[in-house]
Structure 1
Amino acid sequence: MREEVYKLKGYEGVSLHVYKWVPENADIKGIVQIAHGMAEHGARYKYFAEKLCDNGYIVYANDHRGHGKTAEKTEELGYLGQGDGFSSMVQDLYEVNKFITQDKGEVPLILFGHSMGSFISQRYIQLYGDTVDKVVLCGSNGPVNFMADIGILISGLQMKVKGPKAKSPLMDKLSFGNYNNHFKPTRTPSDWLSSDEKEVQKYIDDPYCGFICTTSFYHSLLKGLKVRQKKENINKVPKELPILLISGSEDPVGEFSQGVKRLYNLYVQAGIKNIEINLYEKGRHEILNEVNKDEVIEDIITWLHS
Structure 2
Amino acid sequence: MNFTTDTFKTPENQIIFYYKWFAAENKPFKGVVQIAHGIGEHAGRYHSIAEKLQNEGFEVYANDHRNHGNSIKNEDYLGYYDGEDYFEDALNDMRQLSQIIQKEHPKNKIILFGHSMGSFLSRAYVIKFGKDVKILILSGTGSFMKGLGAFGILSAKFFTKMNGKHKSNELLKNLFFTQFNKAFKPNRTAVDWISSDEKQVDLFEADPLRIEDFSLSIFLDILQATKKINEFDAFLETPKNIPMYLFSGDQDPVGEMGKGVVKVAENYKKAGIKDLTLKLYKNGRHEMLNEINKIEVETDLLNWLNQKVTANK
Output the TM-score relative to the length of structure 1.
Answer: 0.96
CA RMSD of aligned residues (A): 1.4
Q: Which residue of 2 aligns with 1:119?
A: 120
The amino acid across from 2:114 in the alignment is G
Shift of 1:181: 1.8
Q: Is structure 2 residue 233 aligned with structure 1 residue 232? A: yes
Q: 1:81 to 1:303 in 2, by over 3 A?
A: farther
Q: Secondary structure at the match of 2:62?
A: strand
C-alpha displacement of 1:177? 1.4
Corresponding position of 1:250: 251
Q: In structure 2, do the counterparts of structure 1 residues 4 and 61 end up closer, same or farther at CA, with 3 Å as the change threshold?
A: same
Query: Is the deviation greater in 260-269 or in 228-237?
Result: 228-237
What is the SS of the residue equivalent to 1:102?
Answer: helix
Matches within 5 A, 1:66-215: 66-215=67-216
Aligned length: 306
**Using the alignment, how far apart are the partners of 2:298 and 2:11 within structure 1?**
31
CA displacement at 1:156 relative to structure 2: 1.8
Partners of 1:29 and 1:108 within 8 A in 2: no
| Cα deviation, residue 146, structure 1 | 4.7
More displaced stretch, 144-153 vs 87-96? 144-153
Please tell me whether the aligned partners of residues 28 and 107 of structure 1 are also in contact (alpha carbons under 8 angstroms): no
**1:10 equivalent in structure 2:** 10
Q: What is aligned with 2:40? A: 39
Task: Give the 3 Å change call, closer, same or farther, for CA 81–28 of structure 1 in structure 2.
Answer: farther
Q: CA deviation at 1:70?
A: 0.3
Which SS does the other structure have where 2:158 is aligned? helix
Task: Give distance in 2, aligned partners of 1:11 and 1:52.
Answer: 31
Q: Distance in 2 between matches of 1:24 and 1:242?
A: 24
CA contact (8 A) 1:86 1:224 kept: yes
Q: What's 1:22 paired with?
A: 22
- Give the deviation of 1:204 after TM superposition: 0.5
Alignment of 1:254-273 (within 5 A): 254-273=255-274
For residue 107 of structure 1, report the CA deviation from its aligned partner.
3.9
Report how far residue 108 of structure 1 moved.
4.5
Cα distance in 1 for residues equivalent to 2:251 and 2:232 = 28
Structure 1 SS opposite 2:168 = coil
Post-superposition Cα deviations, 1:53-109, rounded to whole Å, max 9, x if no partner, equal 111111111000110110232211113331011111111111111110112143452
Where does residue 305 of structure 2 map in the other structure?
A: 304
Gapped regions of structure 2 (runs ≥ 5): 308-313
Letter in 2 for 1:35: A
Q: 1:198-241 CA deviation, whole Å, 9 max, x = no partner? A: 11000000111142211111111111112212322221111111
Residues 110-169 of structure 1: CA deviation (Å, up to 9, x unaligned): 100000110111111111112110010100102331542332221122222222221221
CA–CA distance in 2 between the matches of 1:81 and 1:305?
41
In the alignment, structure 1 segments of 5+ residues that lack a partner are none
Q: Identity percentage over the alignment?
A: 38
Q: What SS does the corresponding residue of 1:68 show, helix, strand or coil?
A: coil
CA distance in 2, matches of 1:289, 1:157: 36
User: Secondary structure of the residue that 1:235 maps to in structure 2?
Assistant: helix
Q: Runs of at least 4 residues of structure 1 off by over 6 A?
A: none
Q: After alignment, is 80-89 or 235-244 more displaced?
A: 80-89
SS in 2 for 1:264: helix
Counterparts of 2:95 and 2:243 in 1: how far apart (Å)? 19
